[in-house]
């Protein structure tokens, strides 16, 4: 049995899920059928609801199981909004790549170039860390998200309106452990990197990351059900309710939850369709010119298996069936989601669940993650 550990919107979810996948056989069910079976198994495992999307070319199929609202019992709706957690990171990195294309910055600029003094404590030095190293998680900076002062109140959803100034999160991360890794030498996932990336966006443009993402990505792509809340902890319109179960020993509705703790690292809200549209646009050059597209897809190893690599806000994985995919995942209290896409955007699978209690390796995560991978392999 896999051991459980506290995490926050980490890439470990996808890696754990892939460990149990098997290649699709010639007589296997359809991709949508595999994803549907996985959704039903996820509900059997304890998820309130699971929704999913399979897209091949211009043909889209949806799956769902369970409920999107335990109080009303309404079926989980594949068109509903949910919190996307660290899938936000691809949006943030896209803005910085666009700014580079506009010659407003270089990804090889140091953090100190744009944020003097922001990283300058406990042996950490912003003049030795580049923006690129923030985006591919090779900065060597520690993560603030698992620190007790944040993880406890967050998972218990004690104050959805608590303000978390970005610099305070960075300061807490720096104070948590002395510098021990030379920037650029190894991969280690840290939300701190993307909090700083959001701060760079503000320093360069004078606008918040939310404003830049809205103007540069959401509006141009017509992602009408995608948003970047910056203070309001509520969801509106058609949405999946999010839940926490094992931590409090009863099912707690955490739909209304803090968005300031993750900000440019994980605060966004979207839908299956909008995530698929964004992923396709990002991978096929609709958002970035060729030079920046190449940077987006330049990867570093996430481990020593040769099967997992990280680009700039996106991951590249080799599935057990032998196919390579681009994608990412996101996890914040109440929600887990992930997407896979082919290089040309013609094959996509997206899935979301509405329970997350900040622990990885659960049966539900493994079963729905396996279905996600096997569904893609069946396309």
**pLDDT over 80 at 285, yes or no:** yes
pLDDT for the residue numbered 168:
98
CA 206 from centre of chain: 25
**5 is a domain residue:** no
pLDDT in tens, 140-181: 999 999 999 999 999 999 999 999 999 999 999 999 999 999
- Ramachandran category for residue 135: left, alpha or beta (phi over 0 → left; psi -120 to 50 → alpha): alpha
**77 is a domain residue:** yes
pLDDT for the residue numbered 251:
83
pTM for this prediction? 0.94
**4 is a domain residue:** no
**pLDDT over 90 at 361, yes or no:** yes
**85 is a domain residue:** yes
CATH number for the domain including 337? 3.40.710.10
**103 is a domain residue:** yes
* Count of the separate structural domains present in the chain: 1
pLDDT for the residue numbered 46:
93
pLDDT average, residue stretch 218-234: 98
CA-CA distance, 13 to 53, in Å (whole number)? 19
The residue range of the domain holding 338 is 12-377
CA-CA distance, 377 to 114, in Å (whole number)? 43
Mean residue pLDDT of the chain comes to: 93
**278 is a domain residue:** yes
Q: Active-site residue 151, yes or no?
A: no
CA-CA distance, 266 to 257, in Å (whole number)? 12
How confident is residue 245, by pLDDT bands cut at 50, 70 and 90?
confident
Q: Three-state secondary structure along 273-295?
A: HHHHHHHHHHHCCCCCCHHHHHH
pLDDT for the residue numbered 134:
98
Q: Which of 3, 72, 86, 180 is catalytic?
A: 86
**50 is a domain residue:** yes
**2 is a domain residue:** no
């Amino acid at each position: 049995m896999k051991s459980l550990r506290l995490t926050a919107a980490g890439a470990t979810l996808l890696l754990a899920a892939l460990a149990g996948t098997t290649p699709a056989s010639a007589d296997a069910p359809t991709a949508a059928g595999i994803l549907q079976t996985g959704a039903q198994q996820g509900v059997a495992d304890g998820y309130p609801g699971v929704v999913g999307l399979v897209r091949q070319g211009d043909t889209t199929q949806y799956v769902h199981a369970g409920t999107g609202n335990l109080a009303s019992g309404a079926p989980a709706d594949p068109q509903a909004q949910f919190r996307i957690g660290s899938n936000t990171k691809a949006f943030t990195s896209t803005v910085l790549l666009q700014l580079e294309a506009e010659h407003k910055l270089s990804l090889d600029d140091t953090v100190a170039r744009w944020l003097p003094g922001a990283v300058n404590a406990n042996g950490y030095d912003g003049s030795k860390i580049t923006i690129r190293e923030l985006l591919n998680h090779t900065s060597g900076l520690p993560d603030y998200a698992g620190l007790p002062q944040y993880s406890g109140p967050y998972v218990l959803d004690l104050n959805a309106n608590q303000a978390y100034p970005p610099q305070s999160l960075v300061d807490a991360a720096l104070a948590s452990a002395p510098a021990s890794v030379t920037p650029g030498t190894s991969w280690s996932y840290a939300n701190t990197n993307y909090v700083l990336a959001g701060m760079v966006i503000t320093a360069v443009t004078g606008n918040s990351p939310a404003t830049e993402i809205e103007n540069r990505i959401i509006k141009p792509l017509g992602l009408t059900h995608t948003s970047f809340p910056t203070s309001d902890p509520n969801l509106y319109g058609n949405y999946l309710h999010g839940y926490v179960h094992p931590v409090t020993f009863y099912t707690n509705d955490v739909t209304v939850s803090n968005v300031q703790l993750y900000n440019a690292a994980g605060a966004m809200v979207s839908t299956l369709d909008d995530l698929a549209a964004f992923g396709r646009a990002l991978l096929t050059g609709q958002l970035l010119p060729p030079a920046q597209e190449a940077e987006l897809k330049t990867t570093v190893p996430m481990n020593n298996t040769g099967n997992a690599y990280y680009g700039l806000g996106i991951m590249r994985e080799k599935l057990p069936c032998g196919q390579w995919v681009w994608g990412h995942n996101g996890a914040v209290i109440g929600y887990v989601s992930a997407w896979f896409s082919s290089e040309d955007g013609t094959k996509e699978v997206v899935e979301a669940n509405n329970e997350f209690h900040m622990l990885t390796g659960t049966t539900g995560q493994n079963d729905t993650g396996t279905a996600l991978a096997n569904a893609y392999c069946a396309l």
